[in-house]
Structure 1
Amino acid sequence: MTTSAPQAVRVRAPGKINVSLKVGPLRADGYHAVASVYLAVSLFEEVTASAAAQPGITVRVDAGGPLRIPADGIPLGPDNLVARAAAALAGHAGIQDPAVDLVITKHVPVAGGMGGGSADAAAALLACNELWGTGLSAADLALLGAGLGADVPFALAGGAAVGLGVGDELTPVAAAAPLHWVLVAADTGLSTPAVYRRLDALRTSSGAGTEEPETADPAVLAALTAGNAAALAGVIHNDLQPAALSLAPALDNVLQRGKELGALAGIVSGSGPTLAFLAADADAAARLQDALRAEGHNALAVYGPAAGAEPADPAAPADHT
């Protein structure tokens, strides 16, 4: 008895926050070396890959999640990361004229510093791998993912990890105990290249030198491994935060307000503008979420570490947790 190929596969992949991010100087190749401590959180992108009747890779977006996520400006053509992921997988597997319809359910803020596009690419790789029966291993998919974006391999793996190089050289971190956070999404995004350019400009104007980062902060790793929120609150750091706040000064007021409302610490997530507030526990996160929402902020309590890209039950409703 043979098993027929699935007609549709739904996969979810997590957004991430950087609980620590060191950024080196601008290199000759235009990139920056980083030492990042990634934490996958329970806010998931979902991609459904369905067999199409005609050759081609089509992309649609459904922006119906727990946060207000405007879908305007998301490219739906071949430049979309899910389309590029499907094309890369088809090319690697020797599939001529792939025929697939890809639907992205957006939960992670767009251009928000949480790796939402990378999560989409990771989910698309896994979904198409299953839909087409190409049988690529996790390592194969990670290699393909690295060619699409530095954060894609982490979205495939999930959990917690140190990322070196441009962020794609991953070493898992044994962080089993959950940490609780409240995300605050902005109404508009920030361009990652623009934030890095502003960082370079700020460093040049201040005359501050910087070295290539080679390791993650041991204090961050110890607190993360232990699930010690109080200890982590004192050591989280993001080299991109001054640049993000320079481009979006209103974020600083929200950071201060979150702390006044009970957060142990607050940080810009990656290149921003999403903010991540660390809470003492799940109850404290729920209270902080409600307090921020009462003041009109687009807030959501999440936890991490969360699982990496994985198939979702096609019969179940889309969910962010």
Structure 2
Amino acid sequence: MRRVLLFLIFFLPYIYAENVVIGEINLKYTISGEMTNNNPYPIFIALPDEYVVINTYKTLPLPNSGYCNLDIYQNSTNATYYLIKPELKYMTIFNGKKGFWLPPYTTVKLKMILPNISYALSINIPDEHNFRSVGPAICNKYGVIKLDNIYPNAKRDNIILDNFKLTVYGCLKLNDYSNAYSLIIPAPITFDEYKDIVIIPINDVDDKIWINYYDWLNGFMKVKRKKKLLDDYSDNGLLIDDLDINLDKNYPALAFTTTSTNQNLEFYYIVYWKRKSINLPDILD
């Protein structure tokens, strides 16, 4: 019993960790595109619900070890959108729904602005009293927007959606008391299906923080592999978790090290929707 107690006392300080909110990301984004009525008669297009909520997330692969978790969570649950196109003068009420009439074989441009979405950055780090070095703090999730949730009847009503893009402007603000951490944060939101993500330059300083997440992961895993070759040269079986390092993929991420002199970091990118892979539902429940 005494041995068990001593074992627990010895190891508990090393497994203790704490969550620290180190800053926040504020986002403003627009959704724009084209909608075509492919019918020989007019169609009434009802506006989406009052709120467009991002409640679906995707994840990127993580290293097996050597890092600490960085989480993002939405401070505000909903975001009111503002419809810029079509203009308000074309709006009407039909069957109790606000929207607009789209004439046959006509294309209309749509644009919605969704401002001031705030995400908190929370890092899970080992307790400072255990004298361990802290690896990079990695967030591996990002929010996705599904057009079939915004326009669920498009396929059923023979409406063609095309040339949609998601324009994202963000500002990352760190708390004044934040310590020095190396952070890896994927582009916070995209379409569920997209064909390209284009980074738009803002200034020389902020533009240098963009990397390809998979390139970084490859490099990180290769460093781990070299370390294992040095530490475990007699047991190559320990390299089995590194067989996945040759990843041929692309997803942009923010990568930087925090300091006490960090200013707000701004970023700007555009996501282009991949139309051909979308699977819109036939009916709306």
Q: TM-score, normalised by structure 1?
A: 0.25
Q: TM-score, normalised by structure 2?
A: 0.27
Which structure has the highest strand share of the two?
A: 2
Which structure has the highest helix share of the two?
A: 1
